[in-house]
Amino acid sequence: MITKSTFRKTAADLLMLQQGAYRDAIVLPIIAIAAALLIGALIMTATGVDIDTIGRSFSALGYGAFGSINAISETFTAAIPLILAGLGIGLGFRAGLFNIGAEGQIIIGGLLAVIFSFTFSDLPTIVLVTFTLIVGSLAGAAYAGIAGVLRAVTGAHEVILTIMLNLISYRILDYALRQPFIQKDGRSDPISKSVPDNGQLPKLLDWIDPNLRLHVGVFLMLGAVILLWWLIRKSKMGFAIRTNGENSHAALYAGMNPKMVIIGSMAIAGGLAGLAGAVQISGVLERASPGFSAGIGFDAIAVALLGRSHPIGILFAGILFGGLEAGGRQMQIDAGVSIDLISIIQALVVVFIAAPLIIRTITPWAFSKNKRTS
């Protein structure tokens, strides 16, 4: 028989678990970022940088990220593809999959997007832009689906599969950019034809300054965050994804199909990464060239980890990483500190998030539990 005392204890235990989950989702990333910045300052000190320069560096970092309209524009421009790809990686984490292939999916999505845009340049603007993004997303989904099918059918590990697919995508890009119908006319170097004007994502702030690069892709990114939140928390498929990620045997026993969950999760993740590539091509770069992905797919892994695989967390983590990228350039200009320091800080954040015991050990007071009375 369940007594009132037992019920109260159970309710208190559930509340403590929920509070612990919120603490991990909010407090841990904040402390990880602060610790990474502190260690970054110590590294600068150890390399002979004086205190005034360190202070000037972090001031420039903040100003370059959020201190002006141009800074905010650059921060969000850098954050858009990071968040889109990070959402896909986070979804994979929720399904129990470690998708390292976002880089390759971005490359394939961006490549197919630029080919479609200049091939069908006569289409009206809204049609061309829409289908360019759809083609990029479908290309990324198909490319990630290869790993999903092999994982589901053969049991091959998705980490190995996606790493190999990344390497293949580099060679596909190199080969494609040498083809006459893709290579820019009159050029001997590997660079594609440009996205036509009517295929480019409209800029949002060019009426203030033509150099402001923020484009309507920011609304696509916000829509993707909302849609993925709904998918994970409110849909039947999202429940299957979360269940499979927690325990695939339990999912199978409950009548779910783990193989279809794996394939579907990888396809959606690849679609988001492919969309990131298409957005980057049609909104920022306007053409494809070797290395156009610029490591976004790998940085997105850090974004997904920092965001704890939650769409809202990934949104803020992506903005933070976008701010670090935009602010890092300003820091280099104003204080003369190498932008490589930003990479060190990002890496430290990932280390602290991936190994939370480090943070719990050095800041036990932040994770102390409230004593529960019986």
Cα separation, 106 vs 43, in Å, equals 33
User: Which pLDDT band holds residue 40 (cuts at 50, 70, 90)?
Assistant: confident
**356 within a domain of the structure (yes/no):** no
List Cα–Cα distances, 173 to 138, 224, 290, in angstroms: 17, 27, 7
Task: Tell me what the pLDDT averaged over the chain comes to.
Answer: 86
**204 within a domain of the structure (yes/no):** yes
Higher pLDDT pick, 253 / 138: 138
Contacts of 132 (CB under 8 A, 6+ apart): 113, 116, 117, 195, 199, 278, 282
Q: What is the 3-state secondary structure (H, E, C) of the chain?
A: CCCHHHHHHHHHHHHHHHHHHHHHHHHHHHHHHHHHHHHHHHHHHHCCCCHHHHHHHHHHHHHHHHCCHHHHHHHHHHHHHHHHHHHHHHHHHHCCCCCCCHHHHHHHHHHHHHHHHHHCCCCCHHHHHHHHHHHHHHHHHHHHHHHHHHHHHHCCCHHHHHHHHHHHHHHHHHHHCCCCCCECCCCCCCCECCCCHHHCCCECCCCCCCCCCCECHHHHHHHHHHHHHHHHHHCHHHHHHHHHHHCHHHHHHCCCCHHHHHHHHHHHHHHHHHHHHHHHHHHHHCCCCCCCCCCHHHHHHHHHHHCCCCHHHHHHHHHHHHHHHHHHHHHHHHHCCCCHHHHHHHHHHHHHHHCHHHHHHHCHHHHCCCCCCC
Burial class (CB within 10 angstroms; exposed 0-12, middle 13-18, buried 19+) of 248: middle
In the chain, the amino acid numbered 3 is T
Which tokens hold the place of 147? 């790993």
**Domain that residue 117 falls in:** 81-310
Cα separation, 251 vs 274, in Å, equals 29
**119 within a domain of the structure (yes/no):** yes
Q: What percent of the chain has pLDDT over 70?
A: 90
Question: Contact at 8 Å (CB) between 99 and 268?
Answer: no
**300 within a domain of the structure (yes/no):** yes
**345 within a domain of the structure (yes/no):** no
Q: What is the rounded average pLDDT of the residues 26-54?
A: 82
**208 within a domain of the structure (yes/no):** yes
**98 within a domain of the structure (yes/no):** yes
Most confident of 1-15, 117-131, 181-195: 117-131
List Cα–Cα distances, 322 to 41, 68, 248, 271, in angstroms: 20, 14, 35, 21
Q: Would you say residue 18 has pLDDT above 60?
A: no
Which tokens hold the place of 360? 């719990």
Distance of alpha carbon 307 from the chain centroid: 9
Spatial CA neighbour of 327 closest among 81, 84, 70: 70
Looking at the DSSP bridge assignments, the partners of residue 192 are 183
Determine the Cα angle at 148 with ends 268 and 314, to 5°. 40
Which tokens hold the place of 212? 């402001």
In tens, the pLDDT along 117-160 reads 999 999 999 999 999 999 999 999 999 999 999 999 998 999 99
Q: What is the rounded average pLDDT of the residues 195-207?
A: 92
Higher pLDDT pick, 361 / 153: 153
Spatial CA neighbour of 63 closest among 335, 282, 291: 335
Of 26-30, 62-66, 306-310, the range with the lowest mean pLDDT is: 26-30
Spatial CA neighbour of 56 closest among 340, 330, 345, 326: 330
In the chain, the amino acid numbered 15 is L
Q: What is the rounded average pLDDT of the residues 296-325?
A: 90
Q: In the block, which residue shows the tokens 């320091």?
A: 341
Of 254-263, 324-333, 356-365, the range with the lowest mean pLDDT is: 356-365
**59 within a domain of the structure (yes/no):** no
What is the domain count for the chain?
1
Q: What is the rounded average pLDDT of the residues 330-334?
A: 79
Looking at the DSSP bridge assignments, the partners of residue 215 are 203
